[in-house]
Structure 1
Amino acid sequence: MKPSTSSGRLIAFYGSSLVSSYWNGAATYYRGILKALAAHGYDITFYEPDAFDRQQHRDIDPPPYARSVVYPATTDTLNEVLREAARADIVVKANGVGVFDRELLEGIVEHSRPDALRLFWDVDAAATLDEMRADASHPVLKALPDLDMVLTYGGGPPVVNAYEGFGAATCVPVYNALDPETHHPVAPDPRFTCDLAFLGNRLPDREARVEEFFLKPAAALPEQSFLLGGNGWHDKAMPGNVRNLGHVGTNEHNAFNCTPRAVLNVARDSMAHIGFSPATRVFEAAGAAACLITDAWEGIEQFLVPDEEVLVARDGQDVAEHLSALTTDKAQAIGQAALARILAEHTYALRGEQVHALFQDHFAKAREAA
C-alpha cells in the first residue's frame, strides 16, 4: 500500500543520537520510526548534542530521511537549536538525551508554536515513571499539561494507565520493530561463532540480570562458548568461556545475530517488571532469523509465541537447560518462525502507519475545534 502524504509537515526531533549507537540503545528505534515517517512525507530534522563520544563512534552517515543537526553541548547552542522549534508543525522531545534533558523539555514547550503538536517520546517509560513517582518536581510532570501526547516504545497498559494518571492527554505505546532493509539474515561470520551471544551495554539496572541470565549459565556450561558485546564490560569478572567484544556497531549486528547457535535478550529491571517492553534486539535478532532466548516478562506472547518463535527463560538455569537441549535444526526452525512473524506484524513500516494516523487524527481534531 502506498503511504498517504502528510502535506509536508515539519518535525523537529530532539533526541540522543540518530547517527551513532554508541552508548545509545535507542538509535535503531529512532532510525526505523523516522525512516517510516519520512515515507509519509514528513520533513524531519533530528537535533542531537555532541556528547559522550558518540560523534567519534558514528555508525551511519546522516541519512536521507532526516536532516541531522549536531550541536555543541553548550547553553548558547542549545538555545539556538530550541529556537528552531518555532518552525515545526510537530515538536518531539525524546527522553534520555543525556545532557540538557530538563532544558530541552522546557524549551520545546516555550519555543513551539501554539498550533504545533508537542509530544514527549519516552524510550524508557518504566524508569521515567519511577522517577516521577519519587519526585513531585520532575520536569516531565511539570510539562505534561502543555504536551499534546506521550508516545512510548513499550510498556503496554501499565504505562498507559500510569501516564494518563499523571495527567497526560493521551499515551500510546509505539513498540520497537524491524526494518528488514537494515536487519536481515546474512552469512555467518567466524568472529561471532559461539553457542550463546548477548549484546547490551553495562547499565546499573541490567547488570544483575546479565549475571543471572548470561554469566551464570556460562559458568554452568563450561564446555559451551559465550560471546558478550556492548560497552562497559571490560572490567567485569567472567567465566573463562566468555569472550568480551566491547562495542559492536550496527553494521555488524546482522552477523552477530546470525552466527551464534542462539542469541539472548535480557531486559532491564524496570522493563522486565512492567512488561510489554521488548527491546530492539528482540526484533533485530528475529529479523536475522536468530534463535532467540529471552528472559520472561509479561506480554511476550503479543510479539512472539513461546517455544515456537522464541525460547523463554525464568532464570539462568532455564537458559542453561534451553542451551543443553537446543539442536541446530530446532534453533533454525525457531529463527525462521520468528522471522516470519516479525515481518508480518512488527515492522517499522507498520509502526510508521500507526504514528502517522495518530498525527493525522490530532490535526483533524484541532481543525474541528478551530
Structure 2
Amino acid sequence: MKIAFYGSSLLSSYWNGAATYYRGMLSELAKRGYDVTFYEPDAFDRQSHRDIEPPEWAKVVVYPATESAVRKVMDCAAEADVVVKASGVGVFDDVLLEGVMALARPHAVKIFWDVDAPATLADLRADPGLLMHRILPQLDLVLTYGGGPPVIAAYEGFGARICRPIYNALDPSTHHPAAPQARFEGDLNFLANRLPDRETRVERFFLEPAARLPERRFLIGGSGWDDKAMPPNVRRIGHVGTADHNAFNASPLAVLNVARDSMADVGFSPATRVFEAAGAGACLITDAWDGVELFLNPDEEVLVARDGQDVAEHLAGLTPERARVIGEAARQRILSEHTYARRAAEVDALLRRESAAGRERSLA
C-alpha cells in the first residue's frame, strides 16, 4: 500500500520533536511492505539543520512554504492508499488537512495523526468553528502518540470514529548504548527545547535541584536556553542532533525527562526522550505523570519525582552501580515491549482492517 504522509519534517529534528517518532514508525512500516512518501515544507530553517539525508525506506518531497506549493503536493494524495495529515506541520495546516482528505480516493484510509493531542483537543474545546470539527467524522482513524483513555474519550466525543494511541517507542538501530564522551559528562543531563508550556516545570525539576546541589554538575541541551538565568553549576550546550543523543544519554550519572504541562496533565504520554534514554541504558529520572508504569516500573526501571526536592534526593542517593542497574533494566523492558517494530505491527493491523472496510464500502 502507498502512504502519503504530510508532516513537519522527517529529515530534521531541529525544533521538531516528532522526527524520531516519524522515522521509527515509517521505517518499520516500510519493512512491512508499505511504500512511504513523506511531504515536508521547507520551513523554520529545518532544511539547513538536517540530521539525516533522505532514507532508503521513504521518498521525501520537500516543498516551498507557499500556498501554491502546498496545493501542488496535496494532489499527490489522490494516488495513495493511505493518506495521513499529521498535526503541527506549521505551514498552511488547515489547507493541507481539508485538501488531502477531499482529494483522497473513496477507498483510501484517511488518518489524522496527532503528535500533540492535548494542544489539538484544547483548540477543539475553545473554538466550535474549527475546521477539525467538520473533518473528524470524515476520517477513518485518529492516531495519537500519547494520551491514553482521556484522549480517546475526548476525540471520540468530538466525532472521531476511532481514536488509537500509538505511543512513542525505541528504534534500537538508532538509539542504543554508546561510549561516554567528556563533552556530555555530568551528574544530571536534560535535553529539550525551550517551550512556554514546559518552562515552569523545567525550573521546578531541573533548575531547583541544581541550586540545591551546588557541588553537582548539570548539563542542559536544546535550543532557546541562552538567555535563561541558571545556577552556575548548569552548563548549556545548545542544540544536540540526534546522532549525538546516544552519547548524551550514556555519559552522565542520570538523565532527566520533564513533560510539557499539557502532556503531564493528560498523562499516558511518554516523550521520545524516555525511550531514547532507556535504549542507551541511561538511568532516567522523570517527573511524575499518570501511566508511567505502563512503560517503566518506578524504582526498578525509572526514578519518578513529584518535585525538585525528589529529583535532588534521587540524585544525591544515586550511586554509579545503582544507576547502571536501573538503566539496564529499563533497556531490557523497552527492548521487549516498546519498540517501533511492535508499534508498526499495531498500525499495520489497523491499516489493513480499514483498507478492507473501505474497499467493501466502495463496492456496496
TM-score range, shorter chain: over 0.9
Tell me the CA shift for residue 139 of structure 1: 2.3
Matched, 1:112 2:113: no
SS in 2 for 1:33: helix
- Of 313, 321, 324 in structure 2, the residue corresponding to residue 321 of structure 1 is 313
CA distance in structure 1 between the partners assigned to 2:221 and 2:99 by the alignment = 36
Equivalent residue for 1:67? 59
Query: Which stretch has the larger CA shift, 138-147 or 45-54?
Result: 138-147
CA distance in structure 1 between the partners assigned to 2:267 and 2:76 by the alignment = 37
CA distance in structure 2 between the partners assigned to 1:211 and 1:127 by the alignment = 22
Equivalent residue for 1:246? 238
Equivalent residue for 1:364? 356
CA distance in structure 2 between the partners assigned to 1:316 and 1:76 by the alignment = 49
Matched, 1:26 2:40: no
Equivalent residue for 2:122? 130
Matched, 1:280 2:272: yes
CA distance in structure 1 between the partners assigned to 2:257 and 2:132 by the alignment = 29
Equivalent residue for 1:4? none
SS in 2 for 1:91: strand
Matched, 1:81 2:68: no
Tell me the CA shift for residue 75 of structure 1: 1.0
SS in 1 for 2:197: coil
CA distance in structure 2 between the partners assigned to 1:22 and 1:350 by the alignment = 27
Matched, 1:229 2:221: yes
CA distance in structure 2 between the partners assigned to 1:89 and 1:128 by the alignment = 26
CA distance in structure 2 between the partners assigned to 1:26 and 1:144 by the alignment = 22
For 1:310, give the aligned amino acid: V
SS in 2 for 1:131: helix
Deviations 1:328-362 (A, max 9, x none): 00000000000000000000000010000000111
Taking a change above 3 Å as real, the CA distance of residues 269 and 211 of structure 1, as seen in their structure-2 partners, is same
CA distance in structure 1 between the partners assigned to 2:207 and 2:188 by the alignment = 11
Equivalent residue for 1:170? 162
Deviations 1:169-205 (A, max 9, x none): 1000000000000000010001000000000010110
Matched, 1:43 2:35: yes
Structure 1 segment 169-318 matched on structure 2, within 5 A? 169-318=161-310
CA distance in structure 2 between the partners assigned to 1:69 and 1:368 by the alignment = 32
TM-score (norm: length of structure 1): 0.97
SS in 2 for 1:49: strand
- Of 145, 152, 159 in structure 1, the residue corresponding to residue 144 of structure 2 is 152
Tell me the CA shift for residue 368 of structure 1: 4.0
SS in 2 for 1:206: helix
Please list every run of at least 4 consecutive aligned residues from structure 1 whose deviation after the TM superposition is greater than 2 angstroms. Answer: 364-370
For 1:182, give the aligned amino acid: T
Number of positions where the alignment pairs a residue of Structure 1 with one of Structure 2: 362
The answer for unaligned runs of 5 or more in structure 2 is: none
TM-score (norm: length of structure 2): 0.98
CA distance in structure 2 between the partners assigned to 1:337 and 1:193 by the alignment = 22
The answer for unaligned runs of 5 or more in structure 1 is: 1-8
Deviations 1:260-300 (A, max 9, x none): 10000000000100100000000000000000000000000
Indicate the percent of aligned positions where both proteins have the same amino acid.
68
Tell me the CA shift for residue 23 of structure 1: 0.3
Query: Which stretch has the larger CA shift, 17-26 or 134-143?
Result: 134-143
Is contact 2:109–2:358 with CA below 8 Å preserved after alignment?
no
CA distance in structure 1 between the partners assigned to 2:150 and 2:70 by the alignment = 34
Deviations 1:289-332 (A, max 9, x none): 00000000000000000000000000001000000000000000
CA distance in structure 2 between the partners assigned to 1:244 and 1:99 by the alignment = 30
- The Cα RMSD (Å) is 0.7
Matched, 1:58 2:50: yes
Is contact 2:108–2:355 with CA below 8 Å preserved after alignment?
no
Equivalent residue for 1:6? none
SS in 2 for 1:24: coil
Tell me the CA shift for residue 60 of structure 1: 0.3
